[in-house]
Structure 1
Amino acid sequence: MNAVLDDIRCEALFVSDVQRSQRPTPELIREAVAATVTRLGEARCAELVAQEFGEHPDCATDRMLWARNAVRSAFAA
């Protein structure tokens, strides 16, 4: 997977409303990523991720790890 595209997808899922506790399907993850990038744009997603890491680094780390794994699974070729 393209590293830049992977990062954009992870950031979008991170700032989306989707929660790990929902046990989202790959389809829901792909839809959430697309909707979030469309709604916020790539730059705003990155800004919100940075803000969250600044304000809540303990929680943000776990959410990003989840987002990375979920995106890799949902967008696997």
Structure 2
Amino acid sequence: MRTHHRWLVTARAEALFASTVPTGMLLSRAQLDATVATTVRRHGGVRQCAAAMATEFGDHPEAAVHRMRWALRAAAHR
């Protein structure tokens, strides 16, 4: 995977992780794109989505691991 593509998948996964979409939900490409855009705007940027994700890993590590795996799969396959 090229570095640029890997960075985009990671950023999209972080935004999806920080979204209000339930873990495990199957999203179409359009739904994923809309969710990522809305979440990035709501949090004020990709870095803030990553910060929200880090907070969840600190507060609820078991659930956060499961959610991040789902987010990465969704971001990579859509």
Same-fold call, TM > 0.5?
Answer: yes
Moved over 4 A (4+): none
Unaligned runs of 5+ in 1: none
Per the normalisation by structure 2, the TM-score is: 0.83
Shift of residue 15 of structure 1?
0.6
Per the normalisation by structure 1, the TM-score is: 0.84
Shift of residue 20 of structure 1?
3.2
- For the pair 1:62 / 2:69, whether they are aligned, the reply is no
- Secondary structure of residue in 1 paired with 2:20: coil
Residue identity over aligned pairs, in percent, reads 38
Cα RMSD, aligned residues only? 1.5
Whole-Å separation in 2 of the counterparts to 1:30 and 1:37: 11
Give the aligned partner of residue 23 of structure 1: 26
Deviations 1:22-61 (A, max 9, x none): 4332221111011111221111101100000001000000
Unaligned runs of 5+ in 2: none
